[in-house]
Structure 1
Amino acid sequence: MNSYIVQVENLSHHFGKQLVLDDVSLLIPNGSIYGFLGPNGAGKTTTLRLILGLLKKQTGVIRVFGDDFERHRIAALEGIGSLIEQPSIYLHLNARENLEIYRLAYKCGQKRVHEVLEMVGLNDVGNKKSKDYSLGMKQRLAIAIALLHNPELLILDEPANGLDPNGIIEMRNLLLHLNREFGKTILISSHLLAEVEKIATDVGIIHKGKLLFQGTLPELHQLQSDRTIIEIEVDDLENAKTALAQLFSFTTAGRNTLQVICNKKEQVAAANDLLVKQGVRVYNLKVIQNDLEALFVQIITA
Structure 2
Amino acid sequence: MSIEVKNITKLYGEQKVLDTVSFTIKKGEIVGFLGPNGAGKSTLMKILTGYIKATKGVVFVNNFAVTTHKIDVQKSIGYLPEHNPLYVEMYVKEYLQFNAAIHKIPKEEIPKIIEKVGLTQEAHKKINQLSKGYRQRVGLAVALLHNPEVLILDEPTTGLDPNQLVEIRGLIKEVGKDKTVLFSTHIMQEVEAVCDRVILINKGKIVADKNLKELKKNQEQVIEVEFDFKIERQFILTIPHLKSANNVHNTSWVLTFDTENDMRPVVFDFAHENGLKILNLTAQNKNLESLFREFTS
- Note the alpha carbon deviations across 1:48-95, whole angstroms, 9 max, x for none: 011111111211111111232212111111111101122221111221
For 1:147 and 1:209, the matched residues in 2 are separated by 29
Partner Cα separation in structure 2 for residue 175 and residue 270 of structure 1: 50
Q: Is the 8 A contact 2:32 2:185 kept in 1?
A: yes
> Do 1:200 and 1:217's aligned partners in 2 also have CA atoms closer than 8 Å?
yes
1:178-189 matched pairs, under 5 angstroms: 178-180=175-177, 183-189=178-184
Is the CA contact (8 Å cut-off) linking 1:229 and 1:294 kept in structure 2?
A: no
Q: 2:2·2:62 contact (CA, 8 Å) conserved in 1?
A: yes
Distance of aligned partners of 1:271 and 1:97 in 2 relative to their CA distance in 1, 3 Å threshold = farther
Separation (CA, whole Å) in 1 of partners of 2:14 and 2:223: 36
Within the candidate set 88, 91, 97, 2:88 is matched to 91
2:77 is matched with: 80
Report what 2:171 is aligned to.
174
Q: Which runs of 5+ in 1 are unaligned?
A: 231-262, 274-283
Specify the structure having the higher radius of gyration (Cα).
2
- Judge conservation of contact 1:83–1:143 (CA < 8 Å) in 2: yes
Post-superposition offset of 1:16: 1.1
Question: Are residue 220 (structure 1) and residue 215 (structure 2) matched?
Answer: yes
Partner residue, 2:5: 8
Q: 1:144 to 1:102 in 2, by over 3 A?
A: same
| Structure 2 residue 188 is matched with structure 1 residue 193 | yes
Q: Equivalences for 1:132-147 in 2 at 5 Å? A: 132-147=129-144
Match of 1:295 in 2: 291
CA distance in 2, matches of 1:138, 1:265: 51
Distance (whole Å) between structure 1 residues aligned to residue 192 and residue 171 of structure 2? 15
The answer to whether 1:206 aligns with 2:201 is yes
| SS of structure 2 residue aligned to 1:155 | strand
Describe the shift of the 1:151–1:229 C-alpha distance in structure 2 as closer, same or farther (beyond 3 A): farther
CA contact (8 A) 1:95 1:128 kept: yes
State the alpha-carbon separation in 1 of the partners of residues 176 and 247 from structure 2: 43
**What residue identity is the alignment partner of 2:166?**
I
Q: Distance in 1 between matches of 2:79 and 2:103?
A: 14
Q: Give the superposition deviation at 1:265.
A: 4.3
One-letter identity of the residue aligned with 1:69: V
Q: Which residue of the partner structure matches residue 161 of structure 1?
A: 158
Superposed CA RMSD in Å reads 2.2
1:33 is aligned to 2:13: no
Q: Which amino acid aligns with 1:210?
A: K
- SS in structure 1 opposite 2:146? coil
SS of corresponding position for 1:24: strand
Structure-2-length-normalised TM-score: 0.79
Amino acid at match of 1:266: N
Residue 290 of structure 1: how far off its partner (Å): 2.5
What is the deviation of 1:286? 3.3
Task: State the Cα distance separating 1:267 from its structure 2 match.
Answer: 4.9
Q: How many residues align?
A: 253
2:282 to 282, 286, 297: 286
Q: How many Å separate the matches in 2 of 1:176 and 1:220?
A: 19
Amino acid of the residue matched to residue 290 of structure 2?
A
Deviations 1:137-170 (A, max 9, x none): 0001011011111111110100001111111101
> What are the residue-to-residue correspondences of 1:251-290 with 2, within 5 Å?
264-267=244-247, 269=249, 286-290=282-286
**Structure 2 unaligned runs (5+)?**
225-242, 254-279
Partners in 1 of 2:108 and 2:249 — Cα distance?
A: 65
Between the aligned partners of 1:127 and 1:270, the Cα distance in structure 2 is 68
Q: Tell me the secondary structure at the aligned position of residue 293 of structure 1.
A: helix
